[in-house]
Structure 1
């Protein structure tokens, strides 16, 4: 009986030490596995075709905007400076996810280093906040141009535009800085599989075997602070703009003035609506199929960057004219 008792105690100790070693080995894994689009793994190659097409259009369109504004001195105005900032932000956002997404779809390269995962998450979140700030700056530019046109050039000087741009960038950098630090401090011992094509913040911290309330509350606070305040300022700006437009005596003048800010309104809708839908389905849409939530989250990073240069190119006469001149000169 003593021998049996001794053997049981030794076996218990061996089992305990092995399980403890395994959990210690798995805590804070060096790599995570990006699953891609769960449930649609067989169609990954086909899904990559429209995604790759949208990315190519986004790259071509945004670089065209940057090239035209740089080459044309008449476009060196606050509105186009902000448009260039938006184009750069869209390029960074789409490039942050698509190369890794294609490596998953084409080469089954699903592993991502923990530090690289946190870096990708940081770039995605910070540049989303930066893009939101740029949309507010563009709304302010339209407000001054329509409601106080005589003082537009004196209010929005190059120096002021540079200050606004720096403030927008610093806000995005500083507000998102706690995200990776908080995510790194949690112990990860459940699984290292992320059901997405990129390191989405909530999907990552949900893998932690700890109370992640701090990360969750901070994420919600920043989302409501950024989206709430930015949408509020945009709404106030456009309320004043619409009041100024409807006070114009002639109908053709009202239409022409409204046309100057219609492209910005379209860009706002293209940017905020997909993001809000993706955010709400990710957090609260538990009845929505996982593959639909992941698809929506990925579409947000490709559709607005693709649409923004098309919207501005089609609706802004100066950009359209300059683009036609470039093709005309090349043709002759």
Structure 2
């Protein structure tokens, strides 16, 4: 065998042109259309809810404040994550479970990119509430539309670069063996576990990045809300305490939905506990998609300004309709 043919043989056996998304195992093929409809409904609700938030805040001048700029960035991140994952999941059950190597790597990058952006946006939300409650006199000076826009831009750019480094590690690995991804979409752990190389050295790097992205913001959020609770408890007026804490409840709900299930799964993985494949996929899908699906409802029904604005517009519309009906 010549050097050329040896090299050609090695190249052909160390590259995988495509991956197969296994998804939930055990579902009969005749029910795939039903599973696809289920995820399509989730995608339609997720996109319509987050697009509504973006359009509503953009059209309503009274809501163009730092808090709602952060909400809009979070809606963009949720919309990006849903659009990165759900169409591919639907396609798996309706068309084909095969995804090309490059498409898989691109999806992996975007999945973790939007996840990282969401995590840091949660911390930015906590910062906004921390300054508003613990230092209200300086809030108009410190928290302005321009400063929030700059901070949001920085976290989008920094995560863009940071996740590029993680993706380059995955790309540098040879893939020559199994190509079945035990998930509904491509993520770092699922892809890197298929590499035909020792990943012992890459695990600490990826784990440290994941912990920084997840627990770095979480530790700051815990610190912020402990300080907020202490400040709220110092308010002598009971009604004042209630109203002040009420402004934090939407963020607290979002934070709990995002961080608690993730931390549980990560801690279980760290101590060596492995979930059954379908259960693991279900848990990951739940903590990845459910917050993005439920966030617009939390904004609308738990945020007083948005709720009041919606009610006012609804009443104005009803008055216009009633006014038209009594005209001859």
What is the TM-score normalised by the length of structure 2? Answer: 0.89
Q: Which runs of 4+ in 1 moved over 6 A?
A: 18-23
Matches within 5 A, 1:214-225: 214-225=201-212
* Deviation of 1:81 (Å): 0.5
Conserved? CA contact 1:93–1:127, under 8 Å = yes
Would the alpha carbon gap of residues 285 and 61 (structure 1) be closer, same or farther in structure 2, given more than 3 Å must change?
Answer: farther
Aligned match of 2:292: 305
Larger radius of gyration: 1
Between 189-198 and 237-246, report the one with greater CA deviation: 189-198
Query: SS at 2:275's partner residue?
Result: coil
Alpha-carbon distance in 2 for matches of 1:98, 1:35: 15
Matches within 5 A, 1:126-165: 126-165=113-152
Query: SS at 1:191's partner residue?
Result: coil
Query: SS at 1:29's partner residue?
Result: coil
Q: Structure 2, unaligned stretches of length 5 or more? A: 322-328
* Deviation of 1:97 (Å): 0.5
Of 10, 18, 25, 1:38 maps to 25
* Deviation of 1:49 (Å): 3.7
Matches within 5 A, 1:1-332: 24-42=11-29, 43-107=31-95, 109-280=96-267, 287-330=274-317, 332=321
Would the alpha carbon gap of residues 25 and 282 (structure 1) be closer, same or farther in structure 2, given more than 3 Å must change?
Answer: farther
* Deviation of 1:281 (Å): 5.4
Alpha-carbon distance in 1 for matches of 2:132, 2:246: 13
* Deviation of 1:27 (Å): 1.6
Conserved? CA contact 1:68–1:319, under 8 Å = no
Alpha-carbon distance in 1 for matches of 2:15, 2:89: 23
Conserved? CA contact 1:118–1:199, under 8 Å = yes
Alpha-carbon distance in 1 for matches of 2:196, 2:270: 19
Alpha-carbon distance in 2 for matches of 1:271, 1:135: 9
Task: Please give the per-residue CA displacement for 1:164-215, whole angstroms capped at 9, x wherever unaligned.
Answer: 1122112211221112211111111221111111112111111111111233
Conserved? CA contact 1:38–1:196, under 8 Å = no
Query: SS at 2:146's partner residue?
Result: helix
Conserved? CA contact 1:34–1:198, under 8 Å = yes
Alpha-carbon distance in 2 for matches of 1:191, 1:254: 58
Alpha-carbon distance in 2 for matches of 1:330, 1:302: 33
Aligned match of 1:9: none
Task: Please give the per-residue CA displacement for 1:281-315, whole angstroms capped at 9, x wherever unaligned.
Answer: 56666552101111222223320111111111111
Query: SS at 2:195's partner residue?
Result: coil
Between 120-129 and 173-182, report the one with greater CA deviation: 173-182
Q: How many residues align?
A: 317
Alpha-carbon distance in 2 for matches of 1:294, 1:71: 38
Please provide the CA RMSD for this pair: 2.4
Between 252-261 and 216-225, report the one with greater CA deviation: 216-225
Conserved? CA contact 1:54–1:303, under 8 Å = no
* Deviation of 1:269 (Å): 0.5
Alpha-carbon distance in 1 for matches of 2:159, 2:225: 24
What is the TM-score normalised by the length of structure 1? Answer: 0.88
Query: SS at 2:149's partner residue?
Result: helix
Alpha-carbon distance in 1 for matches of 2:28, 2:167: 28
